């Protein structure tokens, strides 16, 4: 059986683990109120960024599914800032939640998310895009950073 775990599920699992750790080992807040409310700004901005990225996929009539086969190389909109705006958005949402709650265990989720997404998804996607779009993807990869 082939089980596919998608990046939002990875983010949610890491968030759940960090919330459990926070429950048992919360300690003191490292980001006190009202500064922790900056986390909500990060979350909202990240959601907007992800929506724009999703709409850019739709405009190009290509898949946003990491397991799917892309039919177009998307380089405009949020993709002109980051090669992975959807993953960047998920990462920043985790950062926003960590800021909002303000305790150390919540910062473990984004720290674990980055290498997991790089190893599990991004490296494979980059190989696939290189195979499909060849020099066009290489040029894009050389001009836009993976994250920021």
Total number of domains constituting the chain: 1
Question: Do the domain assignments include residue 4?
Answer: no
Please tell me the pTM assigned to this model.
0.95
Whether 64 maps to a domain, the answer reads: yes
- The answer on pLDDT for 141 being more than 90 is yes
Please report whether residue 84 resides in a domain.
yes
Residue 26 pLDDT? 77
Q: Is 109 in contact with 99 (CB distance < 8 Å)?
A: no
114 neighbors 91 (Cβ within 8 angstroms): yes
Segment 91-100, tens digit of pLDDT = 999 999 999 9
Show the domain range for 139.
30-143
**118-129 tens-digit pLDDT:** 999 999 999 999
Torsion of the alpha carbons at 95, 129, 120 and 45, rounded to the nearest 10: 10
């Amino acid at each position: 059986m082939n089980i596919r775990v998608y990046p939002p599920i990875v983010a949610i699992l890491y968030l759940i683990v960090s919330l459990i750790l926070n429950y048992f080992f919360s300690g003191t807040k490292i980001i006190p109120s009202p500064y922790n409310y900056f986390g909500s700004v990060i979350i909202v901005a990240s959601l907007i960024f992800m929506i724009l990225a999703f709409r850019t996929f739709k405009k190009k009539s290509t898949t946003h599914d990491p397991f799917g086969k892309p039919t177009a190389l998307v380089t405009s909109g949020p993709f002109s800032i980051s090669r992975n705006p959807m993953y960047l958005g998920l990462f920043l949402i985790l950062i926003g939640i960590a800021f909002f709650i303000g305790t150390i265990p919540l910062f473990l989720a984004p720290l674990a998310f980055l290498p997991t997404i790089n190893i599990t998804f991004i490296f494979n996607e980059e190989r696939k895009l290189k195979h499909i779009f060849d020099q066009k993807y290489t040029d894009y990869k050389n001009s836009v950073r993976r994250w920021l």
